[in-house]
Structure 1
Amino acid sequence: MRSSRDDSGAATAELAMALPLLLAVTVGLVWLLSVAAAQLRVVDAARESARAAARGDGTQEAVARGLEVAPPGSSITLTTAGGRVTAAAAGSVSGPGGLFGFLPAVTLHAEAVAAAEPVS
């Protein structure tokens, strides 16, 4: 005796159940990509500030140069000691929002060191 079972529409139902999960994974990956891009910008901001200060630019000019590269709302601090300039940059990336509003903002940090050039 053969049982006649109709499986038409099963693939559509399975796709409808998997689609929200695929969308959530895609949004998560895009957010991680934006965090990685922001980390690179924070590293570049620290490097730019350290190089500008090591060349002899004033502290405010060097920080302003780094803030041009940094993500919005970032901060940069410069310290000079022993012929070296250290720039520490910090910035944050907020969560993707919407259904993912429960994710906290990610705080990013970077530090760069440059040898101070002699003033002639």
Structure 2
Amino acid sequence: MATVELAVAIPAVVLCLLLGLGAVRAVTDQVRCTDAARAAARAAARGDAPGDAVALGRRLAPPGATVTVELTGATVESAVRGRAPRALRWLGRVGAPSARAVAAREDAG
């Protein structure tokens, strides 16, 4: 009787462990996306070239993330979109980390 219970319990424990580790990775990637978006927006707002701001954002973003920077009238908008961790890819875009940041341009006067 204990063998059957163990045979059912071990896969359930492994599944919970994988989902938990995926959730921790998703939270870590979300923080990295937020930091990357803020840094890219700040860099472009202080007058750095948009390409340099995107490069800075890519260095801080999780691997495989896309970074965009848009200069508008008096503001700079940056967006970072990462990929969901493998354990959470079944959630689709919901499990993917993303962040946006807006900063006022310092060189617009």
Does residue 17 of structure 1 match 2:19? Answer: no
Find runs of 4+ consecutive structure 1 residues off by over 6 angstroms.
none
Q: Which amino acid aligns with 1:81?
A: T
Answer 1 or 2: which has greater strand percent: 1
Let me know the Cα RMSD of the aligned residues. Answer: 2.4
* TM value normalised by structure 2: 0.82
Answer 1 or 2: which has greater helix percent: 2
- CA–CA separation in structure 1 for the residues paired with 2:35 and 2:24: 17
Percent pairwise identity = 37
Counterpart residue number, 1:103: 90
- CA–CA separation in structure 1 for the residues paired with 2:42 and 2:101: 9
Instruction: For structure 1, list consecutive stretches of 5 or more residues without a partner in the other structure.
Output: 1-9
The size of the alignment, in residue pairs, is: 107
Of the two structures, which has the highest relative contact order with CA contacts closer than 8 Å and spacing of 6 or more? 2
Counterpart residue number, 2:41: 50
- CA–CA separation in structure 1 for the residues paired with 2:77 and 2:46: 13
Structure number with greater Rg is 1
* TM value normalised by structure 1: 0.75
Does residue 114 of structure 1 match 2:103? Answer: yes
